[in-house]
Chains A and B, each alone.
Chain A
């Protein structure tokens, strides 16, 4: 992306880039089911990975994240409450529990994963395992 872009064009470009990798085969076949809650987006940032998950209405304290080898488990509950004496016009928000494991098809360093949760969006910063990093080979 150029630095002199129209912000709307930049958003459109991002939306197209996301669409292009929709349910791509990067995760490999059959490891973990796509289409379970919550939906995830996986990005590459330099050598490392970023997983972004939208979890609106999930309190940080109701969210648990575990990592083991190359698998990351995201579990928790989403609560929706209504006022007692209110009459309901529309009910679209969903509530319930979730438990999803995603397997990164590349060796990662599970001990150095960093998680950020803000405004209902969870971002997991996942470093690639040292041994997986490309090395420059010196010609002697």
Chain B
């Protein structure tokens, strides 16, 4: 495999019993920038991270991180990879200053300025015990620790899960305004599309363990269009609607969210009896949700 990707998987599969968490995943994430990975629960994101960090062997295929086999990572490799999980697992019995001292000893490239810069966004005192920090403060502290390690790759696995609006904003600002984040590749995994819209340069959509899409977020948004049509009666059979992601009938109007449709779709609607047709852009949140909901499991009768 070439080494120009910071993360690269080839035909990566992971099976839990009779269920495939990763299904021959081919993924190549280039160095630099912020890459957002989204996917419904069970899409295989956590499994992917565990395999990439060497905490789980793949059932088949290859996974490389920083150009190395993910199952052969050395302590020196781990120093180059920062990881922040949604639980912000930190030793709650230690004081903030003690945790900082421990990390400073362990990470040779520790940058105190970066730490101070990030932690400045929070009202965290060195003598405070980690267990006494609020969830938002713990998230910020965890981010500060991870960035101060000066990693080449920073993996943020749903870091704002469970945070309130203020804490989320503080977290994102501390990430965006830190120079350290500019120097490394950031993998940002989240269900919060407004966050992804704000931070991500690249959007990666996983579904059922497979790569479904990878592009800039705005490119993905551009692929999804929202059409409102005044169609009498039931409208066209959904099975015949090209690129259909979602259809709703509101106030007598049919709302179609479709993928990769141009103006020909208007002709389709008109040919199906639409009296008026209107197209409008969609938000990333709505586009991703519709995209993921399309293949979501549903009862046979649905």
Chains A and B belong together in one complex: no
